Structure formats: C-alpha cells, structure tokens
Amino acid sequence: MSNNVNPCVSCGACCAAYRVSFYWAEASDGGGGVPVTLTEPLGLMMRNMRGTNDRAPRCVALAGEIGQCVSCKIYADRPSPCREFSLSGDNGVVNDRCDRARARHGLPPLDAWRFSTPDESYVSQGASPVPDHVQSAGL
Ligand code: SF4
Ligand code: SF4
C-alpha cells in the first residue's frame, strides 16, 4: 500500500466497534444533519447511530467490507463523534481506540502511519472519509 493512501478507506473498524452516540439535536428531527431514521433514542437527550448499540456493533451507515473497502453513506452529515475521531498516528497523535477497533477486527495497529499525515483524503478517493466518532467503548 502506498504511504499516501488513507488506511481508513480499507478499514472501517471503528464504525463497527463502538456505540456512536450524540446529542439528539444533531439528528434531522432536531435541526441537525444526521438522518433521524438512521438513529435510535438513547435516553432522554441522546441518540446513537442504529446498529452501534448492538452486541456486535456495526453502524447502519457503513457500506462495504471491513478491512477491505468501506465508506460512510452519510459522510457529509455524520454526527460529531465521527468527526472528532482520528486515525491513530494522524498528526503524530496515537489514538488507542483506533488501534483497539482494528484489533477487534483482526487488523494490525497503524504503526507505519504514526508521525506522518496521509496526503490523500478518504473523500478524494471516492470513499467516505475517516469515520471519526465514538463515545462509548464496546470493547
Ligand atoms: S480511524 Fe482507525 S479504526 Fe477507524 S477507519 Fe480509520 S484506521 Fe480504521
Ligand atoms: S463515520 Fe459514518 S459509518 Fe462510521 S459510525 Fe459514523 S455515521 Fe456510521
């Protein structure tokens, strides 16, 4: 793999490892961009992406095969935890939750990516970008 290719394009593990929860108003019925039909209530004030609060979590918006080729079907409208989640090594910062999600799916940690920043974005390759996210660990 070229060192310029964003590893998230062939990963997607974090979209199938954690509960992705956020303030309810991020959903479309509260004025936000996340399609409410892809969410489910989580208490009084929160929602989570459907599929991510399951025993074997996998976000309903994740397309493709984990570890092969993936994309987020609502990338432009993904919730805040997805936007805030970074791949391990991005800008030299290790994200243990990225490594743990990958391990859960039998993928190695991103050692080779640490301390370097990919210069090709997830989006530019036609796949939906880095699944940022995650609030509640399902590991
Ligand atoms: S952030 Fe990490 S776990 Fe998530 S898709 Fe990218 S490499 Fe995979
Ligand atoms: S980035 Fe997209 S597919 Fe991944 S958890 Fe967030 S909404 Fe779901």
- Other C-beta atoms within 10 Å of 116: how many? 13
Q: Is the CB of 7 under 6 A from ligand 1?
A: yes
- Closest atom of ligand 2 relative to the 38 alpha carbon: 7
Position 54 in a domain: yes
How many domains, in total, are found in the chain? 1
Q: How far is the CA of 84 from the centre of ligand 2 (A)?
A: 11
- Closest atom of ligand 2 relative to the 75 alpha carbon: 2
Q: Domain range spanning residue 130? A: 7-137
Position 34 in a domain: yes
Position 13 in a domain: yes
Residue pLDDT, tens place only, 59-116: 999 999 999 999 999 999 999 999 999 999 888 899 999 999 999 999 999 975 554 4
Q: How far is the CA of 18 from the centre of ligand 2 (A)?
A: 10
Position 61 in a domain: yes
Q: How far is the CA of 40 from the centre of ligand 1 (A)?
A: 23
Q: Distances in Å between the alpha carbon of 20 and those of 4, 42, 116, 133?
A: 28, 10, 27, 6
Position 82 in a domain: yes
pTM of the model: 0.82
Position 2 in a domain: no
Q: How far is the CA of 103 from the centre of ligand 1 (A)?
A: 11
Position 93 in a domain: yes
Q: Residue 114's pLDDT is what?
A: 54
Q: Residue 138's pLDDT is what?
A: 37
Position 106 in a domain: yes
Beta-bridge partners for 18:
137
